[in-house]
Structure 1
Amino acid sequence: MRLGADRARVRVPATSANLGPGFDTAGMALGLYDDVEVRALGVADVRVDVVGEGAEDLPSGEDHLVVRAMRHALDHVGAPQTGVHLVCRNRIPHGRGLGSSAAAVIAGLLGARALVAEPESLGDDVLLRLATDLEGHPDNAAPALLGGATLAWSEGDAVRATRIDVHPTVVPIAIVPPSRLSTSHARGVLPAQVAHADAAWQAGRASLLVEALGRRPDLLFDATGDRLHQEQRRAVMPESLALVDALRSHGVPAVVSGAGPTVLALGRTAPGDDRPVDHRVTDADQALLDVFGGAMGGWRILRLGLSHEGALWRRLP
């Protein structure tokens, strides 16, 4: 397959995976975005300019995750590899459980889609499988690609995802700590086996989560319970789990976002409040004020809301 364009722009949202009981399955796209501009070069050169998050630490050549994902997609459709110049404007915090690596992977895959002459050859089903090749699991990649809240699963070699409804009164709020935690470290402390009773309990909560998100947000507190991964990670993110405990003691549906250490609270607004998300009052606001008491200690509260559209791409002239 030949290339059909040489410049493109991609926007990808942050994501929060698991949402409590939906371990490695459920995810949600959030209203915080990385923007990547892609330019194919006529010479075998790679340059990556990063502005914002990760500017001091990320590789600037072939090892950059956006470049690796783009190469993976071009190889998949038999398109020629090319030199590339990327400009990455990163807003998603790194190492915080907000899907920064999934955003980079989706950005690279969509960059390849934009460059090839037949972008339909890299449809969403294909991109989700390619993203899972690189990420290992699709729980962040699915909402980053599709937007909204999603459930993702594997079936043989195929990876599939579907969107699920989110009630308009639900407002995701990310409480981001100053410290980072690698996903590999967070996953490394999980046990290889779980008790049958805990698995059955978790399945019930994961089923309830779909109903609570879409039609019964009053059930979100119960629906965000977890027995499989959060408590098991307390030793590597004690402050995050202490915050989850404190918020839940105030009745707030709060969970660890992905592999952490960010905490995600699912606040609710009054029905019919259609103001911009950062102007809405939620039932979690007073609890957050009570817990922090005005002393944030380096934590940031980001009232992000939901990203309904997911990742976007367009060719540039």
Structure 2
Amino acid sequence: MPAGELIGRTVTVSAPATSANLGPGFDHLGLAYELRQQATLRVIDSASVAEVTGEGADTVPRDGSHLIIRSALAALADLGLTVPGLALTADNVIPHGRGLGSSAAAIVAGIMAAAALAGVEAEPARVLRRAVEIEGHADNVAAALHGGLVIAYPESAGTGDPGFGVARVGVHPEVGAVVYLPDTPVSTAEARGLLPATVPHGDAAANAGRAALLVEALSRSPELLLAGTADRLHQSYRRVAMPASYDLLESLRDKGFAAVISGAGPSVLVLGRVAELAALPDRSGFRRLALRIGTGARVEPGPR
């Protein structure tokens, strides 16, 4: 299809907020929520422009460097298409820099939009690979793409680029989530920079067992969520960057709630039966948000 034929085409897509890690599942477990980033992209015959409202609107670019636009243009280029520009309209509902996958949602939304604009199927494996190339990690983008609970795993143990496979796991119908959102963000790069190059073998072994238990807890046995969310691999190393979040995490766990740092933080995620989560206390300095488990990215009905 000649790129000129795309001028004027419009598509609306949405992708969910997500939490990665979920405690012990570092870089491999992800969970999607019914809190959705919606974006409308239109192919224009001039330079790209972004009109953004909502969360983080005063900090994101308003030109072609916006992450949704960049991701869409990269995906169009993969399809052999170059367009003069894209006009983005988005109302952000996912908090930025809080560990809720705002970047992953933007990337997946952009790639899905590109496929729709080009009139081709958005093959999940191809979308995932491109999203990982942009994002750097598979857990959030896999959850944003597929929804629900996912296990993202390298398809090869080699040292080259292995690509990622995704196993989708059904979530127990009684399970929900509450997120405590702090006022101050923490960058993923900063949080990852605090992690050591190596960890004790015992800590790695403990996390492997807890991650396996967590999948059982989320899918069939919610009573095991507190035990299944125990982590010795990454959260304590990040405490210095988010002391208030870590103090909240410990306080909630002492009360029997399955609390973890959401992704790279600083939000605190609590998993449990929805009825039990209603008893969670307020916390000064944090905004509390109840979330349902969500579906994956999709093209929304509307004009093309």
TM range (shorter): over 0.9
2:152 is aligned with 1:152: yes
Contact persistence 1:46–1:85 (CA under 8 A) = yes
Q: Which letter maps to 2:21?
A: N
The percentage of aligned residue pairs carrying the same residue is 45
- Which residue in 1 is equivalent to 2:286? 299
SS of the residue aligned with 2:284?
A: coil
Uncovered stretches (5+) of structure 1, i.e. residues with no partner: 270-281
The CA RMSD measured in Å over matched residues stands at 1.4
Structure 1 pair 228–22 and aligned structure 2 pair: CA distance change class (3 A):
same
1:77-96 correspondence to structure 2 within 5 Å = 77-96=79-98
Q: Name the residue aligned to 1:274.
A: none
CA contact (8 A) 1:2 1:116 kept: no
Q: Which residue of 2 aligns with 1:279?
A: none
User: Which of 2, 16, 21 is residue 18 of structure 1 equivalent to?
Assistant: 21
SS of aligned partner of 1:153:
strand
Greater mean alpha carbon deviation, residues 157-166 or residues 260-269: 157-166
Could you state the TM-score of these two structures normalised by the residue count of structure 1? 0.90
In the alignment, what sits opposite 2:171?
Answer: 166
Tell whether 2:179 aligns with 1:206. Answer: no
Equivalent residues in 2 for 1:206-225 (5 A)?
A: 206-225=211-230
* 2:89 match: secondary structure: strand
Equivalents in 1 of 2:48, 2:214: separation in Å? 44
| 1:28 alignment partner, one of 21, 27, 31 | 31
Secondary structure of 2:133's counterpart equals: helix
2:281 matched to 1:316? no
The letter for the 2-side match of 1:29 is: A
Pairwise CA distance, 1:236 = 0.5
Counterpart for residue 40 of structure 1: 43
Corresponding residue number in structure 2 for 1:276: none
For residues 158 and 198 of structure 1, the distance between their equivalents in structure 2, rounded to whole angstroms, comes to 27
**TM-score, with structure 2 as normaliser:** 0.93
Please state whether the residue corresponding to 1:184 is helix, strand or coil.
helix
Deviations 1:86-131 (A, max 9, x none): 00110000000000000110111011011113x22x3110000000
Deviations 1:246-272 (CA, angstroms, capped at 9, x unpaired): 000010001000000000001214xxx
- 8 Å CA contact 1:212–1:219 kept in 2: the answer is yes
Matching residue of 1:138: 138
Structure 2 unaligned regions, length at least 5: 157-161
Deviation of residue 212 (structure 1)? 0.9
Corresponding residue to 1:226 among 215, 228, 231: 231
Contact in 1 for aligned 2:43/2:83 (Cα 8 Å): no
Within-5 A mapping of 1:233-312: 233-269=238-274, 282-286=275-279, 288-289=280-281, 292=282, 296-307=283-294, 309-312=295-298
Aligned residues: 295
- Which 4+ residue blocks in structure 1 deviate beyond 6 angstroms? none
